[in-house]
Amino acid sequence: MLFRSDDESTIQMDPGRIVEGIIGGIGFLGAGAIIHGDRDVRGATTGAGIWVVGGIGVAVGFGYYLHATLLTVVILFVLSVLRRLSAWLEKAGRERDH
């Protein structure tokens, strides 16, 4: 948000208020992505992904390009490689139970 200081010729920006608005909006979207069923919860990864993408966007907005890039690489690793590992472990567990 922009506000005028005591000196009428100066306009200051409050980054905390900008981030506060982003956090509120992302929290609303992330919560909406999570669906509660009778005995299961779906969409938790999607909700977490929305939070991470928002964080990357804030990092880029503040000029932390290296941090945003590294975080993007880590998230892509987690969502792709670890997803395959999880599927493989579930399959191995089902085969063991039979």
pTM equals 0.70
Token code pair at residue 30: 């992330």
* pLDDT, tens only, 34-54: 877 777 878 888 888 899 999
What CA–CA distance (Å, rounded) separates 4 from 87? 55
Q: What does the mean pLDDT of the chain come to?
A: 84
**Phi, psi at residue 42, to the nearest 5°?**
-120, 145
